[in-house]
Amino acid sequence: MKANLEKRILIIEPSPIVREGFKSLLDEVKGFVLVGSYADPSQLEEHCSVHRPDIIIFNPVLMSHQHRGSIRNFFNIREELTLIAFVYSFVDELIIQQFDAVLTINDDRTRILNKLQILQKEHPVEQRPESEDLSSRETEILISIAKGLTNKEIGEKHFISIHTVISHRKNIVRKTGIKSVSGLTMYALLNNLIGYEDIE
């Protein structure tokens, strides 16, 4: 599949102009695809679960000093993901050292593309196995979770035991890679399983 041969890039950058600039740049380049672009990192773990990026371009200014110890641990970023800093103001060197590469505001188009292509050669994309589809029952349970029902309420609604609800929830987490209720809600919204009106 073509998507499996492309590096999937997720951008976390507060400036809409910079995000649009990256989008425009990546639209012109083979081998990369922008899968998501967000202004803040508050839901980065969920975005990674939904979009499954290979590269995260992240503005390190978004890190507060108390979290400078480990960006990957704080946001639960997997080690195999390439983390690129995009810098256009002073950033503590201890934070910069945690990134695999650095892009700066002074880098021109050619330099940015060269850095990305070097990373592409250093970290070839592995073929991604197709994720397991949720069963129809798991989809029903996911919809109930996204609507804010408790395990007890889900069990009563679907005429199953709480133990069975918990088992379904574990399977949903395993198949989607998403652990939090907010992440599962976002997943349900993005996959048109629920509408915004369903969320209380």
CATH code, domain with 141: 1.10.10.10
**Residue 8 forms part of a structural domain:** yes
Check whether residue 30 and residue 103 sit in a common domain.
Answer: yes
Check whether residue 143 and residue 98 sit in a common domain.
Answer: no
Asked if residues 175 and 137 have their Cβ atoms less than 8 Å apart, the reply is: no
**Boundary-marking domain end, from 122, 155, 184:** 122
CB under 8 Å to 124, separation ≥6 — which residues? Answer: none
Check whether residue 142 and residue 117 sit in a common domain.
Answer: no
**Residue 23 forms part of a structural domain:** yes
**Residue 128 forms part of a structural domain:** no
Q: Which domain, by its residues, includes 175?
A: 136-198
Check whether residue 11 and residue 69 sit in a common domain.
Answer: yes
The domain total for the chain is 2
φ and ψ at residue 183, rounded to 5 degrees: -65, -40
pLDDT truncated to tens, each residue of the chain (200 aa)? 344 578 899 999 999 999 998 888 888 777 888 999 999 888 888 888 888 899 999 998 887 654 556 788 777 787 888 889 998 888 877 788 888 888 888 888 888 887 877 776 666 555 444 456 888 889 999 999 999 999 999 999 989 888 889 989 998 988 888 888 888 888 888 788 888 787 75
pTM above 0.85, yes or no: no
